[in-house]
Amino acid sequence: MQLESFALEKGCTYVIKEKIPNRAYRIFSDAISQGARGLIVTRIYPPKLKSKYEIRDSVIYWLTNVRMDIAIRPKDLEELSFKLEKFILANEGAIIIIDGLEYMITNNDFTTVLKFVQSLRDQVAIKNAILLISINPLTVEPHNLKLLEEEADYVI
């Protein structure tokens, strides 16, 4: 896999609009290869994700209702928020990617998920981390997409 070199600014949130999270994972992999500690929140089954995007040395949480050690239920945003905050505090300058925001929205409501993003954005800024949110713009109402974009430092 050829990595896309992309200069990321620490303490920032990026919304990456794409149908499939390929670009977001290229950016994530590039940051990991440069020494950043990474955490992934995904709808993709982790063994498949690792194979497809050549992911190594990253914490992975799978958004699913299947009970597994690495699974987080999409309705349990409080638990997810706690795990992300703990990771950010322990790994200053870390990079986090979320590619399952649409799934979180369908299992909660948009306002609840937006509040989750707002809180996470603040933690990222405080600890000089980087947050990548990959979202398919066709799956979110335009008004809601605009609200999400307003929470980002950069929209790609």
Q: pLDDT digit string (tens) for 61-81?
A: 999 999 999 999 999 999 999
Q: What is the pLDDT of residue 56?
A: 85
What average pLDDT does the structure give for the chain?
Answer: 95
| 84 vs 90: CA distance, rounded Å | 10
Q: Is 2 a domain residue?
A: no
Which residues constitute the domain of residue 132?
Answer: 12-155
* Helix (H), strand (E) at residue 51: helix 46-53
| 78 vs 76: CA distance, rounded Å | 5
CATH number at residue 74: 3.40.50.300
Number of domains comprising the chain: 1
Q: Is 52 a domain residue?
A: yes
Q: Is 44 a domain residue?
A: yes
Relative to beta strand 58-63, strand 38-42 is parallel
pLDDT band with cut points at 50, 70 and 90 for residue 125? very high
Helix, strand and coil percent figures for the chain, each rounded to 5: 45, 20, 35
Q: What is the pLDDT of residue 1?
A: 36
Q: Is 125 a domain residue?
A: yes
Q: Is 51 a domain residue?
A: yes
Given a cut of 90, whether residue 130 has pLDDT beyond it is yes
Q: What is the pLDDT of residue 126?
A: 96
Q: Is 132 a domain residue?
A: yes
